[in-house]
Structure 1
């Protein structure tokens, strides 16, 4: 079953929904039973019965089936935000006295969460390297989890996922990866041996900048425990209407990702030769240091990447961003619109350098506008610095 079929038809069950080509929204909070015996029986297996939509809901289930199949995983649960899925995944694997190792630059709120749970006796180390040798050196006797992004946030380095997964299993360590950048269309980390994949469904999976959500995909074995603890008890379930919107977005995911990839490649190649640009950080470029690794891990490249201005002062960063007309200033990414931001806020140069990020760093999300218009917009703004 290919990705296009999964996105357009898997889980829709037209006969079950009276032939509706678009399945309905089950907005009800609970499900009633004809007798107490059937209710008691359902209570013994909440994961596979409809009782209360915080556990299982038909509308949410359709999107979950599609995403699990896309990620080549056994089970998926949808959450009310990407951070809800990330924090639930992390707490599935660690407890007091445990140690978490995160690799290179990762999503800022995830780092904040690692610091937050220090009060529960869980320690954390972040290494500014994607080298397998450095990862192995950073493992301690109490390491219980390796947390990854590939490509990494802002710097877009790749991590050798099969090698890290093998190293982790040898040391009885669990692994989690945030696969939001690549989407299941372009990368399937579970096939490399990673234990849990998480996504911000707000990005490419939804694709329209109109939902906030998260997804967690893993094995049946892990989900059987996670469902009753971190999923049910934390209460971070995705509401039915958001799941309905997510399913709508998934129907066009393969087509959208091809379009994002093609436009991003053209934009990256334009920036690569522009005299105002020092360096482009896009794994799809042949001269990217991890390009060959990407050929092993990735089936394609999304529309999010970064570049560095030669004139790397905060004033030049600000001038360039304010000079853009089509690229809008905003957090997040993965929608139809093109976005721009910089991690340089004018007061954090030292912390940027510690993360191996230049003060001239610019991140762009290439949307679905006409590519030539986007290039023209970048060109006129670069002329200002």
Structure 2
């Protein structure tokens, strides 16, 4: 019942919240404020606005009415106090991490996270910020991996490529007990299917290019947190680093958010049918998708998730680069490409350069293939999977 009420509330937020038609002359779609600056009648009024740029329209790198609508919607969906949107998901992740650490600090990553996030953490090493990975989702093992200078625990749940779940309430309590900030990339679940802030997580980030946009035509990111963190982040990592979301992208993102509940329900329905089919296929050794009862974190998912998106992975029984390449090249409905979360179905593998040793070290099978299940007729997708996996 709680999920039904939450979902109905979220649908209203996606469609109606902060549209303010009275303010925009009854326009059913808010206008796009495609301008770089805002003028004021007097110098003193401009000075006042500049001194409180977080709450006034001054320059496009700070605030913009179109962008602000998106931010208020996303904050409401995540049950957070404030949101800032960025020009990419990595810009949001960069801002969240840099705001949270200083030279000498340590970041603990839980299990598999996005490749570019790991590359960013390696880059931060030049500023004497260290990181390590605990390849486990067990809270006790995460606790044992905390160092004396750990200031951030960075999470993706489900984890990247392997789709294990992390007990967010338990890890957030662990972090708070040790004075550590928690950051989660919540792109997989979207704010509809997981609300980490309500479980004690400090900062939520999204790649808005995925499900939030949903049409493969928006590049953007979002960061949602409390007012205290956002006050420091806005004046430093947001304004100074300058990775603001343009109003044109915000307008497209608003369009995507309007249909987010409908699209996520369809992604979920298609993905469950695909995962169930693959689970019984003789060429597939394992399916990583939290909605399956066979998934090791199925019970935790029922407690923590409100639904399931369309991203999963499989392990081929014949786990080598040659077989992975052979299967992927046979796909027709699933297109070969990076990214995910849009209307189209996509396929890719982490075994891109025959890097099997590295994958094994990262607790991934060399036979891993990632499937982003889109909104096509599911029977078309099942037939495509059948022919791609056949000899």
Q: TM-score range by the shorter chain?
A: over 0.9
The answer to whether residue 191 in structure 2 is matched with residue 184 in structure 1 is yes
Please tell me whether the aligned partners of residues 321 and 354 of structure 2 are also in contact (alpha carbons under 8 angstroms): no
Poorly superposed stretches of 4+, deviation over 3 Å: none
Measured after TM superposition, the shift of residue 346 of structure 1 is 4.1
Structure 1 unaligned residues grouped into runs of 5+: none
Aligned to 1:124: 131
The residue aligned with 2:254 is 247
* Cα deviation 1:75-123 (Å, max 9, x = unaligned): 0000000000000000111000111100000000100111101110111
Q: In structure 2, what is the equivalent of residue 17 of structure 1?
A: 24
Instruction: Give the one of 209, 222, 242 matched to 1:235.
Output: 242
The residue that corresponds to 1:209 in the other structure is: 216
Equivalent residues in 2 for 1:152-301 (5 A)?
152-301=159-308
Size of the aligned set, in residue pairs, is 384
Q: 2:55 aligns with which of 48, 52, 55?
A: 48
- Indicate the residue corresponding to 1:85 in structure 2: 92
Q: 1:27 aligns with which of 7, 10, 34?
A: 34
Deviation of residue 43 (structure 1)? Answer: 1.6
Counterpart for residue 350 of structure 2: 343
How far 1:134 moved relative to its partner? 1.0
Distance 1:22 1:192 in 2: 33
1:99 to 2:106 alignment = yes
Question: Does 2:361 correspond to 1:354?
Answer: yes
The answer to whether structure 1 residue 366 and structure 2 residue 378 are counterparts is no
C-alpha separation in 1, matches of 2:352 and 2:15: 42
**Aligned CA-pair RMSD:** 0.8
CA distance in 2, matches of 1:42, 1:247: 26
| 1:345 shift after superposition | 2.1
Q: Report SS of the residue matched to 1:335.
A: coil
Q: Which runs of 5+ in 2 are unaligned?
A: 1-7
